[in-house]
A and B are shown apart, each in its own frame.
Chain A
């Protein structure tokens, strides 16, 4: 399975000279399974450039949305495969009160959008995740509701011996430090355990978190705790706050690596996610 990061920013795009290295596009991760199937995790603004790279489309495209906050769907309107009548696109999303298509239609409709969902030339299918696990291509996909604001899924994609866990918006330590909580009571741990790669929310510094508890995101300490408890082989911290410049993210990355080493963690197993990054797991 090959993983490529097209957008690592949280909340709102943050372009500019100060964020050029870690990138300003919002959440989007491309996963290419070993059988060639394309899975796209979230449709933040990073999906625009991915769409251009997928021309011509390599086959059916599966977009897995964790939730419908704007930073995770904003790029849909600019994803060129959706405008290609020959391209088969399936958009999977969390269980919601209304149909997924109708909810996404609130964004992809007038007056917010010049194009209505029903007019998309590819005629994409919008499907609520059919259950806790199902098959896409050769991968087993697991989805679980996790702690954020509103119905939000965490995903685990298992392809042969490799597994990727994606938890971009997640506040597992909302009420109490994870130190005191048993594994089965930690949100998201079920899909993260022993993953080859964990991509996890780390929106806030420990200092910032005091003002943002309950907003649905993690501070560095809690992200480190979660990574430790998960037993993931590698972790990328993700969903960077729009205020976090490259310099601050470098500093946070060093802090994370130091604290990870102090915990006895493996060298290089923790890093800040960077737009354009790619790895094979």
Chain B
């Protein structure tokens, strides 16, 4: 260790006071913004799954599908891109999408829908949305996960 490192540490055992150094730096007055731990953990989990999935933050912004993208995207845009329709062929209203319900009502929701994914054909998906409730019952956002029902594509 060189002398400057020694200045950060006591060179000897407890009780020693070494090389106290005055360092003046400017500091931002408050800590910068950051996603909540619950969303970070959700992303950690979802990024290691093969199931397509996305996160909705506490404000209702969708934060990407399978993390190919993480730009903020309103749920309405997600719906336009995926165009989910129910079993009878009727479009599912934005407010009735599982993540929208989970976000609004803070409860888990499961449904089956037909969607478009990228340039692919329509696919039938199982969709599950879970609200994320943190300590002191704080709502941190929601996760939505999809399972393609490949058997029905034939």
Contacts and interface: CB of A to CB of B under 8 A. Distances in A.
Contact of A279 (B7, B12, B41): B7
A273 B5 CA distance: 10
A277 interface: yes
Interface string A5-49: 110000000000000110100000000000000000000000001
A205 interface: no
A145 B37 contact: yes
Interface residues of B, number: 48
Interface in A240-256: 250, 253-254
A249 B32 CA distance: 32
Interface string B1-25: 1111101111111111111111111
A3 to B, nearest CB: 9
A174 interface: yes
A96 B134 CA distance: 10
Given A151-B135, A277-B9, A187 B37 contact: yes
- Chain B binding site: helix, strand, loop or mixed by DSSP? loop
A38 to B, nearest CB: 17
Contact of B25 (A96, A161, A257): A161
Interface string A162-185: 110000000000111000001111
A25 B140 CA distance: 37
B103 interface: no
Contact of A140 (B19, B30, B47): B30
A183 B5 CA distance: 28
A194 interface: yes
A158 B27 contact: yes
Contacts of A94: 135
A176 B8 CA distance: 31
B16 to A, nearest CB: 5
A133 B136 CA distance: 16
Contacts of A144: 31, 34, 37
20 contacts: A2-B20, A151-B135, A161-B25, A175-B47, A176-B44, A182-B70, A186-B34, A187-B40, A189-B32, A193-B32, A194-B27, A253-B5, A267-B2, A268-B4, A268-B8, A274-B11, A276-B10, A276-B15, A278-B10, A279-B19
Given A95-B135, A190-B31, 11 more contacts: A133-B30, A142-B30, A147-B40, A161-B27, A175-B44, A183-B32, A191-B34, A193-B32, A257-B1, A276-B10, A280-B20
Interface of A: 2, 5-6, 20-21, 23, 49, 94-96, 132-133, 140, 142, 144-147, 151, 156, 158, 161-163, 174-176, 182-187, 189-191, 193-196, 233-234, 236, 250, 253-254, 257, 267-268, 270-281
Interface of B: 1-5, 7-38, 40-41, 43-45, 47-48, 70, 134-136
In the A-B complex, the 5 residue pairs with the closest CB atoms: A268-B4, A190-B34, A276-B10, A95-B135, A277-B9
